[in-house]
């Protein structure tokens, strides 16, 4: 029987993140088809074991390995790597799956190095073809889609998935076994110290073809808040986009992501709402003819790159913009087109 191990990430409320749930549910499908066991590992501090057990059970997990330790409160690459490697060595899985989140992008290459396992990052799909596992990923700035398989000698086979790209089918609930592991850190291997954490404050959208785009960043806070962007966009036939931070947080689907690892757009008008203006975001929209930024931080980098800037709360500015557009265009908004 093969073994699948999934690295599960938790949010600030210590719940399993939506992208991790998607990876778990997709892993369950693969486990069912390959007669494999499905184990997940959760690394963190002050985790409610019963809550995680319940959430993992809903995703069809057989076993939860929990390392609940105050040293795992904030992400530290060296500490998390040791914890992750410890579990991998104990479990000896055939496959290790996770998100292509910042944590996944950091831990999976490290795990591949320490285990000599094969690694494919940032996949958007996984499927079995005659019992052979294939993953799909885009390459060369989304110009081609590659279908890849591992050589048999690779064990473990490590795969990260782009958040929100996996289809998550509902799966029968399980009652997973919970194993609490301890964190035995070799302090000689800790070279990093986290000194301070500064918390920063669809329907199918044809982003690449739109002549106007309104994008929302991490500041949107949740998917429901995108409603105001869709309503405003509808008035001017604009598409709605998102930053990677918003996508990685589960606020918007990956299909809406603009940037280096998302879509490259070149509209006449690009309105960035609550987007800081990171170089990777700019890589995808920098060729827009007119860039308008709405950001409440006057020092946000986007203000150095935009044509017009509004320093204010987007939730104040966008409704005013919507009303003004309605007056100007004499249009009524038929309702939000987000679904």
| Residues binding ligand FAD (CB under 6 A) | 200-201, 217-219, 243-246, 257-262, 274-276, 278, 280-281, 284, 294-297, 300, 313-315
Min. distance of Cβ 183 from ligand FAD in angstroms?
A: 27
Min. distance of Cβ 273 from ligand FAD in angstroms?
A: 6
Which residue has its beta carbon closest to ligand FAD? 259
| Rounded CA separation 168/22 (Å) | 5
Pair type for strands 132-139 and 144-148? antiparallel
Min. distance of Cβ 39 from ligand FAD in angstroms?
A: 29
In the bound state with ligand FAD, the residue whose beta carbon lies nearer, of 90 and 280, is 280
In the bound state with ligand FAD, the residue whose beta carbon lies nearer, of 172 and 298, is 298
Min. distance of Cβ 257 from ligand FAD in angstroms?
A: 6
Min. distance of Cβ 259 from ligand FAD in angstroms?
A: 2
| Rounded CA separation 118/45 (Å) | 30
Token pair for residue 159?
Answer: 């795969």
Min. distance of Cβ 310 from ligand FAD in angstroms?
A: 9
Q: Which residue from 63, 109, 105, 67 is spatially nearest to 86, judged by alpha carbons?
A: 67
In the bound state with ligand FAD, the residue whose beta carbon lies nearer, of 134 and 315, is 315
In the bound state with ligand FAD, the residue whose beta carbon lies nearer, of 150 and 223, is 223
Q: Which residue from 61, 27, 10 is spatially nearest to 158, judged by alpha carbons?
A: 27
| Rounded CA separation 98/8 (Å) | 7
In the bound state with ligand FAD, the residue whose beta carbon lies nearer, of 190 and 317, is 317
Q: DSSP character for 182?
A: P
Contacts of 112 by beta carbon, 8 Å cutoff, 6+ apart:
118, 119, 158
H helix or E strand, kind and range, residue 41: strand 37-44
In the bound state with ligand FAD, the residue whose beta carbon lies nearer, of 229 and 300, is 300
Q: DSSP character for 186?
A: -
Contacts of 338 by beta carbon, 8 Å cutoff, 6+ apart:
202, 203, 223, 226, 227, 230, 240
The order of strands in the sheet holding 177-181 is: 118-123, 157-161, 95-99, 3-8, 37-44, 63-68, 177-181
User: Tokens 């959430």 appear where?
Assistant: 55
In the bound state with ligand FAD, the residue whose beta carbon lies nearer, of 180 and 200, is 200
* Pair 16, 55: CB distance under 8 Å: yes
Min. distance of Cβ 235 from ligand FAD in angstroms?
A: 20
| Helix axes 227-235 and 314-329, enclosed angle (nearest 10) | 20
Min. distance of Cβ 38 from ligand FAD in angstroms?
A: 29
In the bound state with ligand FAD, the residue whose beta carbon lies nearer, of 29 and 257, is 257
Min. distance of Cβ 36 from ligand FAD in angstroms?
A: 31
In the bound state with ligand FAD, the residue whose beta carbon lies nearer, of 29 and 215, is 215
Q: DSSP character for 141?
A: T
């Amino acid at each position: 029987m093969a073994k699948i191990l999934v690295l599960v990430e938790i949010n600030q409320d210590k719940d399993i993140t939506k992208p991790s749930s998607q990876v778990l549910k997709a892993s369950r499908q693969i486990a069912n088809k390959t007669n494999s066991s499905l184990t997940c590992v959760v690394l963190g501090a002050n985790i409610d074991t019963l809550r995680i057990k319940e959430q993992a059970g809903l995703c069809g997990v057989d076993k939860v390995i929990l390392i609940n330790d105050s040293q795992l409160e904030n992400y530290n690459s060296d500490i998390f790597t040791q914890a992750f490697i410890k579990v991998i060595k104990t479990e000896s899985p055939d496959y290790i799956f996770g998100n292509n989140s910042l944590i996944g992008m950091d831990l999976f290459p490290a795990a591949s190095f320490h285990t000599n396992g094969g690694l494919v990052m940032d996949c958007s799909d996984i499927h079995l073809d005659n019992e052979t596992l294939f993953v799909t990923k885009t390459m060369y700035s989304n110009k081609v889609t590659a279908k890849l398989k591992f050589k048999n000698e690779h064990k473990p086979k490590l795969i990260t998935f782009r958040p929100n790209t996996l289809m998550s089918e509902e799966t029968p609930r399980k009652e997973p076994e919970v194993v609490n592991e301890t964190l035995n850190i070799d302090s000689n291997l800790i070279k990093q110290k986290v000194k301070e954490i500064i918390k920063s404050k669809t329907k199918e959208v044809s982003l690449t073809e739109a002549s106007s785009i309104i994008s929302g960043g991490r500041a949107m806070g949740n998917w429901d808040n995108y409603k105001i962007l869709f309503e405003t966009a509808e008035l001017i036939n604009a598409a709605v986009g998102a930053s990677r931070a918003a996508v990685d947080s589960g606020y918007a689907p990956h299909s809406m992501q603009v940037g280096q690892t998302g879509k490259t757009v070149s509209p006449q008008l690009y309105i960035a709402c609550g987007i800081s203006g990171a170089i990777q975001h700019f890589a995808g929209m920098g060729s827009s003819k007119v860039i308008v930024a709405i950001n409440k931080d006057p020092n946000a980098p986007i203000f150095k790159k935009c044509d017009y800037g509004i320093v204010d709360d987007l939730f104040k500015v966008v409704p005013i913009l919507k009303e003004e557009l309605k007056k100007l265009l004499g249009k009524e908004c038929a309702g939000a087109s987000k679904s």
